[in-house]
Structure 1
Amino acid sequence: MFKRIIVLSLILATAIYANDEAEVRLNESVITAQNFKTTVRNTASNVTIVTAKDIEEKGAQNLVDALRMVPGVMVKNYYGNITFDIGGYSSVHAERNSIITYDGVRISSKEATNIPISSIERVEVIPNGGGILYGDGANGGVINILSKNIYGKDSNKKVSGNVRTEYGSRGSYKYGLSTNAKATDRLTFQVDYSKDKYRSERNSDENGKIVSRSQEVSVDAKYKFDNADLVVKYTRNEKHRADGGDLEEADYYKDRKMVSWAARDFTRSNDWYINYRQNIGDNTELLTYVDLYDSKENDDVTKILDRDYARKTVKLQLKHKYFNNHYFIVGTDYMNEKLKGLDSNGGYTGRNTEKTDYGVFTINELKFGKFTFAQGLRFNKAKYDFYWREKYPVPRNIRGEHGEQEYKNYAANLELRYDYSNTGMVYGKWSRDFRTPLAREMYYTLDGSKLKAQTQNTFEIGVKDYIAGSYVSLSTFYKKTNGEIYYEGTPNKESTRPGAVVFPYYNMGDTRRIGVELLTQQYLNNFTFTESVSYLNHKIVDSDFESRKGKEIPMVPNWKLGFGIGYKFNDKLNLNADIIYYGKFYDSDDPENIRPKDKGNYATVSVSANYKFENGFALNARVNNLFDRKYEDYVGYWDGTRQYSPATGRYYSIGVSYTF
């Protein structure tokens, strides 16, 4: 509580300082809300934008660093990948209730982890919904990552680019090259190459040091027609992932750097992306994109256990303005996912599990003076063709057997905005969103039951303004989720290992979340102050399990607080520091709240510096977790004991780049 008081006091103390630079935030463009450009002020959500400039000045190593100050978002590393939780859905598995997109295309958190931070132009975070435009799984919200290749600023130079290198703790490094060449006034080519190595602070095991390595190359071409743009992009990524894994409680308190087992795998992926935008007359815009993605994964030690995954995505939408101030959007999308099924030993049979998703949607916005009224509706159909996993607790009589399932759902929203001044607006909205099981959830359920679709109603009110130059964005919301899909820690009755637990999926019950999110920013001469406050009251309100009614949702803290300060000595040198606090939470697999609520309750401090020379060179330095705070990315329970995934301690990095 003392830490909360300190952060809140700092918020109040800095709220008096400001100048008119804050107005710029309200007019920043947003792509995510429509897939067409609008502004922060015209978006009925507590939207937060992190730009390439923000990433560069703070020396962010990855998306964890870039998004740590965003209200309502809990982002962390887990098993070598980044996990995203918007709005309190359990941080380890939260991507199932939030949508992550890359240039509008839906991706997994694993794919987001592999995006080089240097290739990101901006990240837009829109909490509480997004199901009209993006469909299945938008209960928490949307994180849209936009690449420099697609949305970066056009250069007048024939050839331009960037060379960068960076070194960090324990021999970790990054380096890369981006180059942009204008073949003609209409045709531009770009090539980006990145390579990195990260060594964990965990100890070595029998296979050596715990080191992750990755490299990515992307090639794209952009052609400008008179009223249209066409982008074709190919990306190849290769990653050797290594992580020290979880530790039993006794080992964890003996030595956090110990390795009892290690996860090592190698993934190779290919991604083809085509984006076409066209202005049809003065009032109509067309957008369509196609994305073809495939990946192959195997154990990095044994070189076996192939995991194949493929995804096809197509989207088409049209925006038309009518009667000057009004517009509507109509669209349709399609996604097909395929992955292999598991056998009784955890190997892969080669029998595909397939999910096919179809959707049609419409958005209409009417503007009458200072009032704006928007409506949206989506219909979705998801079809599954799968094979039951050959493992307990799936009943023996259906293990390995073929199964089919179909879901029909709809999303809807209504929102009303009122521009009460030249800078201020207030909004209220209702949205209905849904989520159907991921393909990998469908074939491994508690007692082989067929999961119900998860549905949610959200009510939100908010305000945005700049007051005496201070940017303020405040929202409060109520969410009621029916049939929330979660995982169950179930004793494995067929295991010969005492205390062994398996984790199938099931409908946990109905949940409720009430939250408040606040982001403020002030400017005083060369100083910039940023404050972030998130409070969430959450519980399981109904369940088939009587012992879970009225209990808190696991792995979700009630509080997240942040305070950041930046100082610009001049146009060349800037310094940044921030502190983030997370409140306590229950273990990830403890919906009964049996074990103590004694994890979380930690604060981490990060500092950075950036210096730009006049000749194109730039230096940056960053220290994450400055005071080497000890905390956990995950806490669970199996094999008869609590299990912990230690978070990374202090990490240093220093880099140099040259832009030409």
Structure 2
Amino acid sequence: QYSYYNKKNKTANLLTKDQLKNNSSQSGVDFDGSYLKNNSSNKYPLLEGTGDILDKSNLRRDEFSFNYTKKINNEFEFNLNGSYQKNTNDVTTKEATYANFGSLTNPFNYKNYYADNIGTFTDEKFKINPSLKYNYMTNSYLILGYDYKEQKSKRDFTNFMDMYKVYDLSSKKESNGIYIFNKTSIDKFEFLQGYRREWTKYNTTKNSHYYHRVKPIFLNNGYVDTGLKTDYIKKSMHNDSYEFAINYLYSDTGNIYTRFEESFRTPAPTEFQDKDGTDYILNDLKPETNQTLEIGIKDYLLGSFVSLNGFIGKTKNEIYYNEVYHGKEWYYGNFGKIERKGIELSLEQTFGKFVFFENLAYIDAKIKEDSKNSNLEGNQVPYTPKINANLGTLINFTDNFNSILSFNYKDKYYLDKANKYEAQSFITLDLSLNYVFNNGLKIYGGINNILNRDNYDQEGISNNEILYDPANGRTFYSGFTYIF
């Protein structure tokens, strides 16, 4: 299978609350300097630069995948899966900075202006996974497998805020894993066990050459040049994961199960890089480990499909991402210990041409331990809404034509570990229409956010103030797919 994807995008800055009230569709750029003039001690508030200040990106993705299956005999089956993906993203962003444009007659002519960041982000992922399946009883089997994964990431800037002559970051993550999975079926019981070990290596190199006009022109010709600087990260680690589950099929339509899992997540190579203001800094992330106990039941009761499960999970060194200012300042870190408790409920009822569905998820995620600040213990985990819900109806007008009306709700959540700043809830009412022809052609269309509610795709914090990225209002869309 081969797929190609291309997305060209322009993005405005996040808005302050005053900018949002004045004009929620504006770019967020302080053209006349009024915001800086009223909110900053900077005595050169006017931001100068080109008229096109939107951040731009051009993302291209190529992806190949393949699967080969060979049934050796009634007992043994060989599988081989592989994939390769390459993403190339050309980016141009604008950031406010200042420099000295002075001369001998006016040596202290500092100005604020918009500087360009021009770079290319490249990511490559390769994976191959051979496995052997042994069927030894009815609905019982054992799988032995190996997987190899390689991920390469590169960040090149030809110009970064008018201050770097050279900036590039090259990262490589290489993983080798072996695993075994067993399923044994005895009467109405299913017993599942799994184990996996992974060895991971990282190799990261960062080159930077800082060169910026920040001093009056008669000092060092007006420039600071620190020369080429190279930083390295080399890491290796191994991690283990386990799974144990019991499933009881107590009727033709119902089953009850319990499952325990200990898993891990290793950092992506790009997650070792933070951006602090105008500089990129390499961090020292650790892998996270998770322990989860889950109990659930599924059945068809009183004319409705019912799925209900509850879980409790504990995470050590959970990897988190804090985006301070809309992709222009961020950092990665590890929480000490996190505890999550939750329930998930799904219902579905069918009455003739009507299908009704209701889904609810409740998660209580708390910081149980923080080695750097004990005052954070007991707080909610940032960017984790407690409630996610959606309900709606599907109407099959004919065998070929249907519509779906859905109400979607995402609860408010905190933007920081101190639980001082809170993002608002996200609510939409959406409608879609679908018509499938008998020749493989499908046409579709719909309306998202019918109520035209003011939602936000993102909220962030900068200088102790919440900034907003307004989501789309009422939006109409249409499209088609053709399978042949």
How would you bin the TM-score normalised by the shorter chain?
0.7 to 0.9
Q: Is contact 2:121-2:156 (8 Å) kept?
A: no
In structure 1, the partner of 2:195 is 377
Q: 1:634 aligns with which of 434, 458, 475?
A: 458
Contact 1:284 1:321 in 2 (8 A): yes
Partner secondary structure for residue 440 of structure 1? helix
CA distance in 2, matches of 1:298, 1:658: 31
Deviation at 1:390, TM superposition (A): 5.7
What letter matches 1:326 in structure 2?
S
**Aligned position for 1:339:** 153
CA–CA separation in structure 1 for the residues paired with 2:361 and 2:352: 28
Question: Counterparts of 2:312 and 2:183 in 1: how far apart (Å)?
Answer: 24
- Deviation of 1:577 after TM superposition, in Å, equals 0.8
CA contact (8 A) 2:323 2:460 kept: no
Give the match for residue 263 of structure 1: 55
- The 1-side partners of 2:322 and 2:357 are apart by 39
* Correspondence 1:503 to 2:365: no
Gaps (5+ residues) in structure 2? 29-52, 94-115, 211-225
Match in the other structure for 2:37: none
Counterpart residue number, 1:404 = 234
Give 1:307's aligned residue: 121
- Post-superposition shift, 1:386? 0.7
Asked if the contact 1:445–1:451 (Cα under 8 Å) also holds between the matched residues in 2, the reply is no
The structure where helix makes up a greater share of residues is 1
Match of 1:486 in 2: 320
Query: How far did 1:257 drift?
Result: 0.9
* Residues 82-101 of structure 1 mapped to structure 2, 5 A cutoff: none
Query: In the alignment, residue 591 of structure 1 is paired with which amino acid?
Result: K
TM-superposed CA distance for 1:464, in Å, is 0.9
SS of the counterpart of 1:441? helix
Look up the match of 1:151.
none
Measured after TM superposition, the shift of residue 258 of structure 1 is: 0.9
After TM superposition, give the deviation of residue 632 of structure 1 in Å: 1.0
Q: What amino acid is aligned across from residue 452 of structure 1 in structure 2?
A: K
Q: Whole-Å Cα distance in 1 between the matches of residues 441 and 175 of structure 2? A: 47
Q: Structure 1 residues 333 and 250, CA, compared in 2 at 3 Å: closer, same or farther?
A: same
Is the 1:389–1:444 contact (alpha carbons within 8 Å) kept by the matching residues of 2? no
Distance 1:568 1:341 in 2: 49
* 2:348 equivalent in structure 1: 521
Q: Does 1:366 align with 2:158?
A: no
| Alignment partner of 2:446 out of 595, 600, 622 | 622
Q: Aligned pair 1:540/2:378, yes or no?
A: no
Q: Does 1:564 align with 2:392?
A: yes
Q: Where does residue 131 of structure 2 map in the other structure?
A: 317
State the superposition RMSD in angstroms. 3.1
- Give deviations 1:112-152, integer Å, cap 9, x for gaps: xxxxxxxxxxxxxxxxxxxxxxxxxxxxxxxxxxxxxxxxx
Q: Indicate the percent of aligned positions where both proteins have the same amino acid.
A: 27
* Structure showing greater Rg: 2
Give the distance between the partners of 2:451 and 2:319, measured in 1 at CA. Answer: 37
Residue identity matched to 1:460: E
Q: Matched residue pairs, number?
A: 413
Pairwise CA distance, 1:253? 2.5
**Aligned twin of 1:353:** 171
2:446 is the alignment partner of 1:606: no
CA contact (8 A) 2:167 2:209 kept: no
Q: Say whether residues 1:238 and 2:18 are aligned partners.
A: no
Equivalent runs, 1:123-134 vs 2, <5 Å? none
Match of 2:418 in 1: 592
What is the rounded CA distance, in whole Å, between the counterparts of 1:391 and 1:504 in structure 2? Answer: 22
Structure 2: distance between partners of 1:658 and 1:364: 39
Cα offset for 1:247? Answer: 1.8
Aligned: 1:274 with 2:69 = no
Q: Judge conservation of contact 2:426–2:456 (CA < 8 Å) in 1.
A: no
Decide whether the 8 Å contact of 1:424 with 1:464 is kept in 2: yes
- Return the alpha-carbon distance in structure 2 between the equivalents of residues 422 and 615 of structure 1: 36
Asked if residue 439 in structure 1 is aligned to residue 231 in structure 2, the reply is: no
TM-superposed deviation, 1:391: 11
Deviates more, 1:623-632 or 1:250-259: 250-259
Matches within 5 A, 1:170-181: none
Alignment pair present for 1:453 and 2:291: no
**Is structure 2 residue 102 aligned with structure 1 residue 284?**
no
- Deviations along 1:233-262, one digit per CA (max 9) or x if unpaired, are 333333322223422332123222111353
Specify whether residues 487 and 467 from structure 1 end up closer, same or farther in structure 2 by C-alpha distance, changes over 3 A only.
Answer: closer
The separation in 1 between residues aligned to 2:231 and 2:117, in whole angstroms, is 28
Q: Which has the higher strand share?
A: 2
Distance in 2 (alpha carbons) for counterparts of 1:332 and 1:617: 40
Counterpart secondary structure, 1:247:
coil
CA distance in 2, matches of 1:444, 1:454: 18
Q: Say which SS state the counterpart of residue 458 (structure 1) adopts.
A: strand
Kindly indicate whether the alpha-carbon contact (under 8 Å) linking 1:293 and 1:310 is maintained by their aligned counterparts in 2: yes
| Residue identity opposite 2:56 in structure 1 | R
In the TM superposition, what is the alpha-carbon distance from 1:559 to its structure 2 partner? 1.0
1:415 to 1:659, Cα distance in 2 relative to 1, 3 A: closer
- Greater alpha carbon shift after TM alignment, 534-543 vs 309-318: 309-318
What is the correspondence of 1:403-422 to structure 2 with a 5 Å cutoff? 403-422=233-252
CA contact (8 A) 1:523 1:529 kept: yes
Label 1:363 to 1:252 Cα distance change in 2 as closer, same or farther (>3 A): same
* Superposition deviation, residue 654 in structure 1: 3.9
Letter in 2 for 1:361: Y
Q: Do residues 649 (structure 1) and 417 (structure 2) align?
A: no
Do 2:360 and 2:389's aligned partners in 1 also have CA atoms closer than 8 Å?
A: yes
CA deviation after TM superposition for structure 1 residue 655, in Å: 4.7
Kindly state the Cα deviation for residue 609 of structure 1 after the two structures are TM-superposed. Answer: 2.6
Which segment is superposed worse, 312-321 or 467-476? 467-476
Q: Secondary structure at the match of 1:481?
A: strand
Q: How far did 1:633 drift?
A: 1.6
Q: 1:658 and 1:448 mapped to 2: Cα distance?
A: 46
| Change in CA separation of 1:450 and 1:536 when aligned onto 2, cut-off 3 Å | same
Equivalents in 2 of 1:524, 1:341: separation in Å? 54
Aligned ranges for residues 563-582 of structure 1 at < 5 Å?
Answer: 563-582=391-410
- Equivalent-residue separation in structure 2 for 1:524 and 1:462 (angstroms): 26
User: Which amino acid is 1:453 matched to?
Assistant: P
- Counterpart of 1:253? 21
Report if aligned partners of 2:170, 2:206 keep a CA contact under 8 Å in 1: no
For residues 527-557 of structure 1, give each alpha carbon's deviation from its aligned partner in whole angstroms, at most 9, with x where no partner exists.
1110101111111111022232111111211
Change (3 A) 1:258 1:414: same
Q: Which amino acid letter does the alignment assign opposite residue 592 of structure 1?
A: A
Q: Which amino acid aligns with 1:607?
A: L
* SS of residue matched to 2:271: helix
**Candidates 90, 99, 104, aligned match of 1:298:** 90
- From the superposition, tell whether residues 612 and 363 of structure 1 become closer, same or farther in structure 2 (CA, over 3 Å): closer
User: Which position in structure 1 is the counterpart of 2:49?
Assistant: none
| Matching residue of 1:467 | 301
Mark the CA change 1:309 to 1:619 in structure 2 (over 3 Å): closer, same or farther.
closer
1:198 is matched with which residue? none
How big is each residue's C-alpha offset from its partner over 1:555-605, in whole Å with a ceiling of 9 and x where there is no partner?
211111211112223324323211012222112xx111012x3x3334211
Task: Answer yes or no: is the 8 Å Cα contact 1:482–1:510 preserved in 2.
Answer: yes
Contact (CA 8 Å) 1:320, 1:327: kept in 2 or not?
Answer: yes
SS at match of 1:376: strand
SS at match of 2:270: helix
Q: SS of 1:553's equivalent?
A: coil
User: Which residue in the other structure is 2:221 paired with?
Assistant: none
- Give the unaligned 5+ runs of structure 1: 1-232, 492-499
Residues 644 and 636 of structure 1: CA distance in aligned 2, closer, same or farther (over 3 Å): same
- Indicate if the aligned counterparts of 1:376 and 1:413 stay in contact, CA closer than 8 A: yes
Give TM-score, length-normalised by structure 2. 0.77
Whole-Å separation in 1 of the counterparts to 2:323 and 2:448: 33
Is 1:424–2:254 an aligned residue pair?
yes
Amino acid at match of 1:569: F
Q: CA deviation at 1:291?
A: 1.9
Q: Is the 8 A contact 1:264 1:299 kept in 2?
A: yes
